[in-house]
Chain A
Amino acid sequence: MSKFKEKDVLLKIRDLRIDGFSDETWVPIIKGVDLTLHRGEVMGLIGESGAGKSTIGAAAMGYARDGTRISSGSIEFDGMELSTATEGERRALRGSRIAYVAQSAAASFNPAHKLIDQHTEAPVHYRIKKRMESQEDAMTLYERLRLPNPSEIGFRYPHQVSGGQLQRAMTAMAMSCRPDLIIFDEPTTALDVTTQIEVLAAIRDIVDQFQTAAIYITHDLAVVAQMADTIKVLLKGEEVEEQTTEKMLDDPQEDYTKSLWAVRSFQRPQKKRPSDGSPPLISVKNIDAAYTGGVKVLDDVSFDIYPGMTVAVVGESGSGKSTTARVITGLLPPSAGEIQFKGQTLPKFYKDRNRDQLRQAQMIYQMADTALNPKVKICDIIGRPAEFYSGLTGPALKQRVDELLDLIELEPAKYYNRYPPELSGGQKQRIGIARALAAEPEFIICDEVTSALDQLVAEGILKLLDRLQQDLGLAYMFITHDLATVRSIADEVVVMQNGKVVEQGPKDEMFQPPHHPYTDLLLSSVPEMDPNWLTTLLEERGVDNIGEAATS
């Protein structure tokens, strides 16, 4: 069907079925998937979480994750049937002929060993290379992947190396035995956009140079468009469709695929600041802050948030976005500057604030999983702040909880007595929203509320937040690193870098040049659906001027 010849088939999966263990029984999670991969071909696997992408990736290595089992189907790698091979035979392929690059390199490198010792482990184990030989090879690979100090960086421990560099080091490690196939499991999901680029460029280079076949797993369409020759879309353990990348982008056949493409189209009209000279709802004035004994993490941060508006605060991790939120809520008292609410200065420390002042700064968190106590019923999670701030009890409290559940579009009768672990990710995030609303605030801080969610679910949350804003006149401070989210819901944008505000203004101005160089870098680093985006960008910037090199 394409540039790949039929005889060069490397991996052939037929009618693969995998079960997962949940609630004491085995339930099917992969329901008959076929996959054919040729030598040198890069296939993108996309889908929401729970679609079974990673499970298929692991199955391609003949590996069943803990709590899963391959129940039937055939996995043929280079003529060898993995489903009937012994565990020892399968293990002998891993690391040597099929390698794996994990989502979070920071978590997947063993903290107790130096990078290079982990790099040489597989080649030495398989007696492919001697230790010293493999070390030298590692340095060559580090250089090719444009890691700084290639001859020295391998002798560091994982915690001494930044996230983007670790991800490249892990790609180098996957290459250590020159495998025929590499499984990339969301390798850039945990990275900032500016760091993501260099990793994408490095992966694409190395896959090209060594003619390695790859399965690239991601939920980000724009990323997969840069990397893959063919794209396979999965939904709940079943294939939706498979096409070459160009065809998939231009002319998706299935409704589900079209809906994935359409997600990015939600946009609400931008609001302007009130012109009557009324004071801002929240005013952050010249804030400096530092964690105990540490260096300054916020340096002269100032911005205003007006009633009923959404201010998006964007920047890379470590730029001080969440710290600003902590200062506003009073969790971290600033060392200089002040926070004003409707022109009144708020006490620096939350313990010195009264109930009415506390009520005004509510938060919704990124990880609804960890932000909700799993052992507390929904009615109590939402009921407690309602009781605390509004003094409601008995039937009035129950009625208020029902109202709040209605507001977040969850049926009160059904969810009132349930526990968080029984809910899906999106539903949990809705409970988080209801908990913030229970305090009846005028202002809510949303800290990366959609980044842990799938695009369709995230879209639902954004629409809900938008509706609540219109109905209740809420103001949002929206912390995010995702510029697509900013485009869809923000009125104003604040760009932060290294604890400073580098640029701020209304959204329409922020997305038009001229920009501050950093804003420009941030904006141009967001992957676009155009398959040639990365190539063009690299040509424009030059290979030595991407990612960390460009930000420093």
Chain B
Amino acid sequence: MGDLLGLVLKRLGLGLVTLLVVSILIFFAVELLPGDTAQQILGQGATEETVRALREQLGLDRPMVVRYLDWLSGAIFFDFGVSAISGDPVTASIGPRFANTLFLACYAAVIAVPIAIFLGVLVALFRNTVFDRVANVLTLTSISSPEFFLGYILILYLAVKTSLFPAISSLSEGMTFGELLHRTFLPALTLVLVVTAHMMRMTRAAIINLLSSPYIEMARLKGMPPFKVIVRHALPNAWAPIINVVALNLAYLITGVVLVEVVFVYPGVGQLLVDAVSKRDFPVVQACCLIFAATFILLNLAADVGTILTNPRLRHPK
């Protein structure tokens, strides 16, 4: 297991390097965006002197490299500077929003991942039957409709027509956990519908891919019933691709939920990012992008480690 720790540390190191490269890209890409923060803050009527004075005050007149290093040294300690618009620290405004996004992602993942894998196993078991086809058509339909559309459909049927769940997922102080789950159910369900199909189809494909292996035939010739063959003999060897697609979908749940947040007026980080971009609040944009990049890198690292852990050849070296 010592090897494993070394491997994880190595991957983690590589992840940090990737993050550094990404931070450079983010910083300079944002700098390249047209428009000027000082101009934006002061509005059209500002004189050149006031704009220049504000630029000096914000430190925007320094060379880009210096500003990058300054920003980076802060970012290491989660200090992303202050918002160019409100003047509040970026960390303080992103923190609770990011926590909300994480909560919603976890909520959706806890429902979606087990369902997707269980369904994947079932459709592999009943492959090429009516059940397989129906499951395929339904999940494909849900993945091919735009998520805001799915959201509105759910609102129409579960909120407007039946009032089972609230249509708007605004959060307030002092809600119990149960209330929280109830109030965020619709956005979570939308996300579940969006990510399930991908994971289920990968589970099915990964299992069916193995069914022609000699050890699967061996299990059948030992008299094992089909369900046991799939769950005990195929699934343990199919984890690697499944874990990878799960990790990608989890990353999507965190970074790709902007539309869902907008539809349900959910105070997540995606909405914050959209606002910040439209207002040219560069510190917030940069911080959000960096957090998204870190999420991707961490989840992929987790997938790599998971893949190693499920491979007996790596877990139990000779």
Contacts from A to B (Cβ < 8 Å): 58, 61, 63, 65-66, 91-96, 99-100, 102-104, 107-113, 121-122, 125-126, 156-157, 159-160, 173
Contact = CB atoms under 8 A, between A and B. Distances in A.
Contact of A95 (B215, B223, B233, B313): B223
Given A96-B223, A125-B224, A108 B215 contact: yes
Given A112-B237, A160-B318, A92 B223 contact: yes
Interface string B203-229: 000000000111101111111110010
B237 A63 contact: no
Contacts of B237: 110-112
B32 to A, nearest CB: 41
Interface residues of B, number: 23
Contacts of B310: 112
B161 interface: no
Contacts of B62: none
Interface string B296-318: 00000000000000101100101
Nearest to A156: B316
A159 to B, nearest CB: 5
Contacts of A160: 316, 318
Contacts of A66: 212
A91 B215 contact: no
A157 B224 CA distance: 20
Contacts of A96: 223
Contacts, number: 78
B236 interface: yes
B176 to A, nearest CB: 43
A111 B215 contact: yes
Nearest to A176: B222
A106 to B, nearest CB: 9
Given A91-B225, A94-B223, A96-B223, A65 B217 contact: yes
A160 B318 CA distance: 5
A138 to B, nearest CB: 14
B312 A107 contact: no
Nearest to B237: A112
A502 B231 CA distance: 49
12 contacts: A65-B217, A66-B212, A92-B223, A93-B223, A94-B223, A103-B214, A107-B213, A110-B215, A110-B233, A111-B237, A125-B222, A157-B313
A173 B237 CA distance: 21
Interface string B5-25: 000000000000000000000
Contacts of A92: 223
Contact of B219 (A61, A93, A110, A157): A110
A159 B237 CA distance: 14
A109 B219 CA distance: 9
Nearest to A90: B223
A126 B223 contact: yes
Contacts of B218: 100, 102, 108-110
B7 to A, nearest CB: 15
Contacts of A109: 215, 218
Interface in B222-255: 222-225, 228, 232-233, 236-237
A22 to B, nearest CB: 16
A157 B215 contact: no
B214 A104 contact: yes
B223 A159 contact: no
A210 B224 CA distance: 24
B223 A91 contact: yes
Given A65-B217, A100-B218, A102-B217, A112 B223 contact: no
A42 B215 CA distance: 25
A165 to B, nearest CB: 13
Residue among A63, A100, A112, A157 with the highest chain B CB neighbour number at 10 A = A112
B225 A159 contact: no
Contacts of B212: 66
B313 to A, nearest CB: 5
A173 B221 CA distance: 12
Given A104-B214, A159-B318, A160-B318, A111 B312 contact: yes
Contacts of A100: 218, 221-222
The 10 A-B pairs with the shortest beta carbon distances in the complex, nearest first, are: A95-B223, A112-B236, A95-B222, A94-B223, A107-B214, A100-B221, A108-B214, A108-B218, A110-B215, A122-B222
A112 B312 contact: yes
A96 B233 CA distance: 19
B221 A61 contact: yes
A157 B217 contact: no
A111 B236 CA distance: 9
A90 B225 CA distance: 11
A94 B214 contact: no
A111 B313 contact: yes
A490 B29 CA distance: 68
A125 B214 contact: no
A294 to B, nearest CB: 13
B257 to A, nearest CB: 35
A102 B215 CA distance: 9
B221 A95 contact: yes
A159 B312 CA distance: 8
Nearest to B222: A95
Contacts of A107: 213-215
Contacts of B213: 107
Given A94-B222, A122-B223, 9 more contacts: A58-B221, A94-B221, A100-B218, A100-B221, A110-B215, A110-B219, A111-B313, A159-B313, A159-B316
B189 to A, nearest CB: 34
A157 B312 contact: yes
A104 B215 CA distance: 10
Contacts of B312: 111-112, 157, 159
B310 to A, nearest CB: 8
Contacts of A103: 214
Interface centre among B215, B225, B232, B236 (most CB of A within 10 A): B215
A113 B228 CA distance: 14
Nearest to B318: A160
A486 to B, nearest CB: 30
B217 A108 contact: yes
A96 B212 CA distance: 23
B306 to A, nearest CB: 14
Nearest to B212: A66
Contacts of B221: 58, 61, 63, 94-95, 99-100
Contacts of B232: 113, 121
A113 B225 contact: no
Contacts of B217: 65, 102, 108
Which of B213, B223, B225, B318 has the most chain A CB atoms inside 10 A of its CB?
A: B223
